[in-house]
Amino acid sequence: MVDVSGKAVTPREATAECRVRFPADVAVQLRASGLKSAKGGIVETAIIAGTMAVKRTHELIPFCHPLPIEGCRISVEWAGERDLRIECMVRTTHRTGVEMEALTGANIAALTVYDMCKALSHRIVIGPAKLLGKRGGRRDFGQG
């Protein structure tokens, strides 16, 4: 792990997104069902899974520091006819940032959407995933 003991403790925030693209007929079905599947509420389940992943990022990615997560917000909305846009914002006050936590939350939420919908099609595409921004630390990036 990187030694962060010499860094200042400051507020940190990061926002990431991941997209889920459905075949056109599946998107129509999901819109008609209010984003419900045979397994239950897709959005609600994805938000829970993404939030759990944020809190466990250090267990999933070997060199991530365990961080006290002070805030996590995940939103899921349609972006066009076939794409769901998942955005994950994470906050902490610490010596290192939460970019990996935000990316992990967005991606696990997307994987959960896939799992909830795979009975409808295996042609669902996940991605791209990207960091939208971060604040705090040595330099800011994007919208953070």
Task: Give Cβ neighbours of residue 137 (< 8 Å, ≥ 6 apart).
Answer: 7, 10, 12, 96, 97
pLDDT tens digit string along 52-85?
A: 999 999 999 999 999 999 999 999 999 999 999 9
Clarify whether 115 is annotated catalytic: yes
Please tell me the total number of residues recorded for the chain in this structure.
144
Catalytic residue among 3, 25, 83, 115: 115
pTM: 0.95
Q: How far is CA 112 from CA 5, 19, 88, in A?
A: 35, 12, 14
Q: Which fold has domain 10-136?
A: Alpha-Beta Plaits (3.30.70)
